[in-house]
Amino acid sequence: QVQLVESGGGLVQAGGSLSLSCTDSRRTLSISSRAVGWFRQAPGKEREFVAARSWDSRSTNYADSAKGRFSISRDNSKNTVVLQMNSLKPEDTAVYYCAAVYSPFVPTAPTTSDEYDYWGQGTQVTVSS
């Protein structure tokens, strides 16, 4: 059973940075052959896309709210994808989820949640003003 795990969330002041990591805790999922995306959900709001990267890093997508502040990277040798978040704002407060989808033949970086088939449990990010 595949199980994605996010880590790195926490409480940070506005303007600060956090680095979120996503990996397969049971090492049964080869993230290296999968596109990985990050989504977030704030209280009372729908889940929204943040960033995604194709399996081979040829394609990357960011939400407008993330452009210039967030960066998604991956280290396939470590089976890990990282979301680096800088210049955080209170409106970035949410539960952040990573998701993966098998896509070894097409270097896509999907931006909608229904394109992904594996999800983590989420990690809380709280940005104080």
Give CA separation, 41 vs 49, 59, 61, 62, 97, in Å: 9, 24, 18, 16, 8
Q: Output 76 or 27, whichever has higher pLDDT.
A: 76
- What is the rounded average pLDDT of the residues 23-43? 85
What is the per-residue pLDDT for 104?
79
What is the per-residue pLDDT for 105?
82
Average pLDDT, the chain: 93
Q: Does position 27 have pLDDT exceeding 80, yes or no?
A: no
What is the per-residue pLDDT for 23?
92
Contact between residue 123 and residue 22 where contact means Cβ atoms under 8 Å apart: no
Close Cβ partners of 19 (under 8 Å, ≥ 6 residues apart): 8, 82, 83, 84, 85
Instruction: Name the amino acid, one letter, at 102.
Output: Y
What is the per-residue pLDDT for 7?
96
pLDDT tens, residue by residue, 63-122 = 999 999 999 999 888 889 999 999 999 999 999 999 999 887 888 999 999 999 999 999
Q: Output 79 or 17, whichever has higher pLDDT.
A: 17
